[in-house]
Every structure is written in structure tokens, then in C-alpha cells.
């Protein structure tokens, strides 16, 4: 039985990311530096081929798809969008340090829902529904490979909910912008347990000359 390949990739950076702001539901585009970083990765590394691309319904995810997978059909999946930070959207911790609601949220480990936003359980359930919808659409199309482009937290949520053998260490699965993992889906395992295998980290390095530190940090 043929396995499916799902290339799960974190979208590129925005100005809000660089400024350390809470950017969830806010629809920011990629920054100039974010675009350049993705172009450099696409030129110096190798992204696995795909038959189509699913993206979170954010401009930054769509623009990432345009750079990494130009010309491929794109399908927007609103359920894969970043967590909503409610009234904290667009603000930095520094700007919120005198906000009582923010202080209570931060002291609670940022796991509860910010005023007007989502909590961790709501976010995880939404991501699970969106990723399941992607798999069902892939089956309907009889396509065996796709890229899924979303935020770093959505990527981690998929890994933690749908792959086996990940343990409890979420942080070891964190990746930089433009990076991610190839997941292998065996139809029988999916039907029985809704589980995938995390196979390889992407993009693939083409040579030892690639300086990832320079690509990510401009050093």
C-alpha cells in the first residue's frame, strides 16, 4: 500500500515576528527579510516535490507557498490559522507589561484564553480539524504528496497530535521559518489510529557549503 507524503512547513517571517509581537489572527504579509530568507533557502537547499499546497488562510502562508512552490495549486484552510490572541493581538509583552489581564494570562503560563482569544485546547482542536480536512481532501483527489504551510505553533500542534514517538518534548520539534518535516501517512494506520510517521526534516541540504546561520540570522 502506497504511503502519502505530507511536507509540513513553517511560513516565513513577518515584521511582527521580528518585533516580538503577538501575531495570531492578524493578517500580516511576509517582511522583506522574510521573503529574502525563503528565496535563499529555495536556491541553496531542496524542498521535496508536491502535487498541491494547503495553506493557512493568512497572507504570509500564501506568500510562502508562492516562493517555495510556485505554480502549484493552492488550497486555503482557515482552520490551520495561528491562535487568536484576542485583545493582545499586535502588541508586544513590553507594551502589555502594565496590563492586568495580560499579567494574569502570562502568570498562568499563557495556556488560558486571552480576552477575546482562544485557549490552547480550542486551538489544538481547530488545528486537528483542519489537518484532518486536509487529509480527507488529499484522499478525494487521489494525490499522494502535498505541502502544508502554517505557523510554527500550528506545525507543532500537528506533530504532537498526529505523530507517534514524539515523546513529551515539544521543543525538540521546533523549527525555523521555511523549515519543517516530511510526514509519512500509511492509509491503514490513518484509518485505524489517525497517526503518521515523522520522517525527515526539510529543506534538504544540497551541500556542506550551505551556511544556515547566515541564512537565518544574517551573520
In order along its 219 residues, the chain shows pLDDT tens digits of 689 999 999 999 999 888 889 999 999 999 999 999 999 999 999 999 999 999 999 999 999 999 999 999 999 999 999 999 999 999 999 999 999 999 999 888 888 899 999 999 999 999 999 999 999 999 999 999 999 999 999 999 999 999 976 556 677 889 999 999 999 999 988 989 999 998 899 998 755 555 555 554 554
Rounded to two decimals, the pTM is 0.90
| Under 8 Å between Cβ of 194 and 168 | no
| Under 8 Å between Cβ of 184 and 197 | yes
Distance CA 157, CA 160 (A): 5
Amino acid at each position: 500500500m502506497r504511503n502519502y507524503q505530507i511536507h509540513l512547513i513553517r511560513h516565513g517571517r513577518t515584521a511582527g515576528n521580528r518585533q516580538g509581537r503577538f501575531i495570531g489572527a492578524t493578517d500580516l504579509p511576509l517582511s522583506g527579510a522574510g521573503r529574502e530568507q525563503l528565496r535563499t533557502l529555495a536556491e541553496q537547499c531542496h524542498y521535496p516535490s508536491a502535487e498541491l499546497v494547503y495553506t493557512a488562510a493568512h497572507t504570509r502562508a500564501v506568500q510562502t507557498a508562492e516562493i517555495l512552490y510556485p505554480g502549484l495549486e493552492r488550497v486555503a484552510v482557515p482552520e490551520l490559522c495561528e491562535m487568536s490572541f484576542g485583545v493582545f493581538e499586535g502588541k508586544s509583552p513590553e507594551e502589555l507589561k502594565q496590563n492586568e489581564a495580560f499579567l494574569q494570562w502570562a502568570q498562568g503560563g499563557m495556556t488560558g484564553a486571552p480576552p477575546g482569544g482562544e485557549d490552547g485546547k480550542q486551538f489544538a482542536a481547530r488545528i486537528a480539524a483542519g489537518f484532518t480536512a486536509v487529509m480527507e481532501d488529499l484522499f478525494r483527489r487521489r494525490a499522494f504528496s502535498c505541502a502544508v504551510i502554517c505557523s510554527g505553533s500550528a506545525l507543532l500542534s500537528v506533530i504532537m497530535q498526529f505523530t507517534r514517538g514524539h515523546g513529551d518534548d515539544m521543543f525538540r520539534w521546533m523549527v525555523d521559518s521555511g523549515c519543517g518535516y516530511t510526514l509519512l501517512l500509511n492509509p491503514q494506520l490513518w484509518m485505524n489510529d489517525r497517526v503518521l510517521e515523522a520522517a525527515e526534516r526539510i529543506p534538504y541540504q544540497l551541500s556542506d557549503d550551505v551556511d544556515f546561520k547566515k541564512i537565518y540570522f544574517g551573520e
